[in-house]
Amino acid sequence: MPRFIFPEWTETLKRWINLLVLGVRIGYQPDQPVPYSHALHAGELGLDCRYCHSTVERAGKAAVPPAATCMNCHSTVKKDSDLLLPIRLAFAENEPVHWTRVHDLPDYVYFNHSAHVNAAVGCESCHGRIDQMVKVYQAKPLTMEWCLACHRDPTPFLRNPENVTKMGYQPQPGEGEDVRKRNGINPPTNCSTCHR
């Protein structure tokens, strides 16, 4: 049986197309049902990422906030704003808010948020300066090579755990290496780590 169904040169073409498609997602900035500003909430108001994305320390996926989380404040703050109508309706009907995923890995990739957060990888390492984004966009490529580069040398992205969600944080000299040694961080680079 032949090794390739198509001519062998198409394999190179396929690789370039895959790189182009993955690279195009940098800057991906979908519309959301509510114009939620991370620059306001995470930046100006200083909300910790874990307030809304409450499962990042204990689950593979970062939860998107239910309407009830939003209503903790918006039952009194801008409670009559037309922009918040989808939140109020979702809350009243006990339905989820239908946010559009911004950082979306292919289905064949396994990624665990809790493993990274608990290893003390700063949120902005993968998501960029969310605290400066009025409308969230994908700031990093999230490609296999990009992830592997971090797994091969995670020290630039490690920080003391209390600083994981601090945006704009500059680790002290040697901090990443100290965290790596103290916590025995040695990320695997074998295929089955991310492809299960």
Average pLDDT, the chain: 92
81 falls within a domain: no
- Please, are residues 106 and 144 in contact by the beta-carbon 8 Å criterion? no
Residue 103 lies in a domain: yes
pLDDT digits (tens, 9 = 90+) for 8-43: 776 676 666 655 555 568 999 999 999 999 999 999
Does residue 25 lie within any of the structural domains?
no
pLDDT digit string, tens, across residues 48-79: 999 999 999 999 999 999 999 999 999 999 99
Q: Is 101's pLDDT higher than 80?
A: yes
Q: Based on the structure, what is the number of domains in the chain?
A: 1
- What's the mean pLDDT in 177-183? 97
Instruction: Tell me, yes or no, whether 179 lies in a domain.
Output: yes
Question: Quick check: helix, strand or coil at residue 45?
Answer: coil
Does some domain include residue 16? no
Q: Is residue 149 part of a domain?
A: yes
Instruction: Note whether residue 11 is domain-resident.
Output: no
Q: Which domain holds residue 125?
A: 34-64+99-187
Specify if 74 maps to a domain. Answer: no
Q: What is the DSSP letter of 158?
A: B
The tokens for 30 are 């979908």
| Positive/negative CA dihedral, 184, 117, 42, 70 | negative
